[in-house]
Chain A
Amino acid sequence: MTNYVRNHSLSNDEIQRYSRQLIISEFGVNAQERLKSSSALIIGCGGLGSPAALYLASCGLSRLGLVDHDNVDKSNLHRQIVHNETTVGRTKVDSARLTCSQINSSLQIDTYNLLLTHENIMDIVKQYDVILDCTDNVITRYLINDACVLCRKPLVSASVIRFEGQLTVWNYIEKNGPCYRCLYPQAPPAETVSTCSDVGILGPVCGTLGSLQALEAIKILTKVGDILSNRMLLVDGLSMSFRTIKLRNRQSTCAVCGTNPTIIDQPPPPPLGQCSNDQPCRRNLLNSNERMTADDLAKSTAASFIIDVRPEQELNIAHFENSFHLPMDRLLYNNNDEQLRNELRTNIEKHQQIVIVCRRGNDSQLAVKRLKELLPDIDNIDEKVKDLVGGFQAWHTDIDSTFPLY
């Protein structure tokens, strides 16, 4: 018998399992060994975190951390492919752990069923070699960025909405790459931020970006290939274009990674009143006498003129019979639309009460204000025009559960 040499620590079982990546010329046993002693943290087990978790659980890491504070909802399943019908209602981290451990039982999986804050994030982030930002809101993205800079961790960040995605690696020190704050020193105004729950997202767009996050994480951990630092990938699924843009270097003026940082020991707390999730905040712009509940509307006998201000695609899901469709865009930016103004005037004058409805009861409040601005001269307009508190969601919950929830 002839002796053989193997200068690595991989077992025969591991060699078999990871054989298809081991035999890639740029990868090999060295890269696999690095994975074997590496850890990754996925923050957000949703549309991006799902494919990232699946691939990182499969690739041969020693440890995978999963963070999420949310539970699995049926409306997640079209894109959050680490979850399934049997785990609806369970915590996302438990659901993701279950799936990942079924793929790879030798992987150590640590779960954090919590909302990240400036106080708890550092202790978690510092334990891992690479961090994946798979979250859904601006506040948490700044929080994760700051923690990664302070803990000197590379951050693989992706974001998606509708048909589009963006991917980059922040704080990649080897390339003097920028952090999130270098690019965006100032947070965007809250009203300019769209969320997946408001404007939608197609599953495979998340799948593409989340998978690419896993790829960049594997490259960082194994030191293979060119890292997407100082660059950003823009993906547009509608026109099917992939394009890489060149970004600035690390900025000496940056508040967290610059030469005179103001953020030093831990990330700053979020600005007052800002939400660190993508759930819509309930607005209260109107007085209670300008609003009516679903119960009030159901019992009302007054001749009502109902204005539905949702976009057409939402109206097509379901709408009240005989309601008047006036999407928010048209209501808000109609300064020269005399025909619309006349139509509204006629209807408002002819009816006893005007009820404005939307999906959740936020836009409808803006619409009440706008309508009063547009037609200030109508008698009793202040008393007549009301909005439906909680919108069609409240209508579903309180009055008619067959009205579809979305």
Chain B
Amino acid sequence: MHLTLEFAGGAELLFGKQKNHSIDLPDNNSPWTIRTLLVWIRENLLRERPELFIQGDSVRPGILVLINDTDWELFDGLNYQLKANDNILFVSTLHGG
């Protein structure tokens, strides 16, 4: 299943400074969710310091997850079932001024 992953707000620094990733998830017995996607990202994309991106089975506090530009809270959060060609954006909150 094809997806576009994006990392912004500094989260891209953990992924070799690359903001856009076009990925293909292998076929799975059960449907892919954000929860299982995070595991896949940790094993396949995350270059360094996993604790700066993942905490427990979710993202760490301060990272916002957007499904096709919409807050994942408006869907099922971790349990959202991914669809082909979804765009998943992970934005780290900025604090500077």
Contact = CB atoms under 8 A, between A and B. Distances in A.
Contact of A195 (B49, B89, B96): B96
Contacts of A136: 95-97
Given A134-B97, A136-B97, A194-B10, A184 B61 contact: yes
A6 interface: no
Interface stretch (B26-34, B37-45, B63-71, B78-86): B63-71
A183 B64 contact: yes
B68 to A, nearest CB: 9
B1 interface: no
Nearest to A201: B96
A275 B66 CA distance: 30
B18 interface: no
B96 A194 contact: yes
B12 to A, nearest CB: 10
Given A49-B97, A138-B95, A188 B8 contact: no
Nearest to A195: B96
A159 B70 contact: no
B48 A188 contact: no
Contacts of A332: 48-49
A377 to B, nearest CB: 25
Contacts of B70: 245-246
A333 interface: yes
Given A164-B8, A192-B52, A245-B71, A158 B97 contact: yes
A201 B94 CA distance: 12
A344 interface: no
A133 B96 CA distance: 11
Contacts of B10: 161-162, 164, 194, 199
A142 B34 CA distance: 28
Given A188-B61, A234-B91, A243 B69 contact: yes
Interface string A313-355: 0000000000000000100110000000000000000000000
Contacts of B57: none
Nearest to B62: A188
Interface string A136-165: 111001000000000000000011111011
Contacts of B66: 245
Nearest to A134: B97
User: Which of the four size classes fits the interface of chain B?
Assistant: 20 to 34
Interface in A162-186: 162, 164-166, 183-186
Given A161-B10, A246-B69, A278 B62 contact: no
A251 to B, nearest CB: 8
Contacts of A188: 60-63, 93
User: Which of the four size classes fits the interface of chain A?
Assistant: 35 or more
A332 B51 CA distance: 14
Interface in A353-381: none
A247 B8 contact: no
Interface centre among B48, B49, B93 (most CB of A within 10 A): B93
Contacts of A329: 48
B94 A164 contact: yes
A263 interface: no
B69 A248 contact: no
Contacts of A133: 97
A329 B9 CA distance: 18
A158 to B, nearest CB: 7
B23 to A, nearest CB: 20
Nearest to A243: B69
A156 to B, nearest CB: 12
A161 B74 CA distance: 27
Contact of A47 (B71, B74, B97): B97
Interface of A: 44, 46-49, 133-138, 141, 158-162, 164-166, 183-189, 191-196, 199, 201, 206, 234, 236, 239, 243-248, 251, 278, 329, 332-333
17 contacts: A47-B97, A141-B95, A159-B97, A160-B96, A161-B94, A164-B9, A166-B94, A184-B93, A188-B61, A188-B62, A189-B62, A192-B60, A193-B95, A194-B96, A247-B71, A278-B96, A333-B48
